[in-house]
Structure 1
């Protein structure tokens, strides 16, 4: 499984190209051969997946019952605009203008690439910084709510 780490400040050039930071590229050793896929995230950001990860997601989506309206809608919204990316000879990827516009990222914008497990979130720097303006006062309470029961023993102890 891919395990990506780090946050990277970047900037789109005037043509909407993104230089993949070398330390991130090292975490994606076969990216030139395998490729990447980008699509919309659940908030106002984009998500880049290694192609093999995307293929796993598509496999999961294909198991959903297509006769249920919620499933069709989810698949439609989730895959809308999904695009393959390839690195050019200098390590840049061209981000689709339609996807950038859909999340409010302008050409020549400052970006943050935020790695999460097997994906890379692409945020405008301004939107990413604003996320952490809403950080809970007591992060420990959120951690307990989300993760608190994960290690609970079920054997009565």
Structure 2
């Protein structure tokens, strides 16, 4: 499975097209079909099509009779737009999605595991403007929690502590 890495500064052209940088294209494993969609943090997610299919399968499991689940599915699927790269590795940014993410011209693409985040540059810079000490505290809180969860193995409903060295 592809795990996208890197941060790339780009500009939309006059026709609202975005060209994927060569270093990012190398990570695509011959994929030119994507789904572009709203994300939670005023950015967009660019999913390789096979990854989107996995996300969509999980959405299908939610209960449409529960309002919160229905609203969540509507938000995630609502802006989903299939994207096909042209011969130069470009695609047109849909206006509604651009508006949602406050994208005008300057863009940051950020590899984030199985997807690529598409940010307005100013929004991205603002999101990253965290004080180093605050970031350190956040890292400690998140990673210590993760470490605590890893302390136990579950085997047939028996919890066995793992010895750490």
Aligned residues: 153
Which residue number in structure 1 is paired with residue 126 of structure 2?
130
**In angstroms, what is the RMSD of aligned CA positions?**
1.5
The CA deviation string for residues 21-80 of structure 1, in whole angstroms up to 9 with x for no partner, is: 011011002213xx0000011121111000010000000011111111111000001111
Residue 150 (structure 1) shift = 2.2
Distance 1:140 1:44 in 2: 24
Stretches of structure 2 lacking an aligned partner (at least 5 in a row):
153-160
TM-score (norm 1): 0.91
Stretches of structure 1 lacking an aligned partner (at least 5 in a row):
none
State which of 123, 144, 151 in structure 1 corresponds to 2:147. Answer: 151
Which residue number in structure 2 is paired with residue 28 of structure 1?
28
Distance 1:26 1:54 in 2: 20
Q: Is the 8 A contact 1:12 1:18 kept in 2?
A: yes
4+ residue stretches of structure 1 with deviation over 6 A?
none
Structure (1/2) with the larger strand percentage: 2
Relative contact order higher in (CA < 8 Å, ≥ 6 apart) = 1
TM-score (norm 2): 0.87
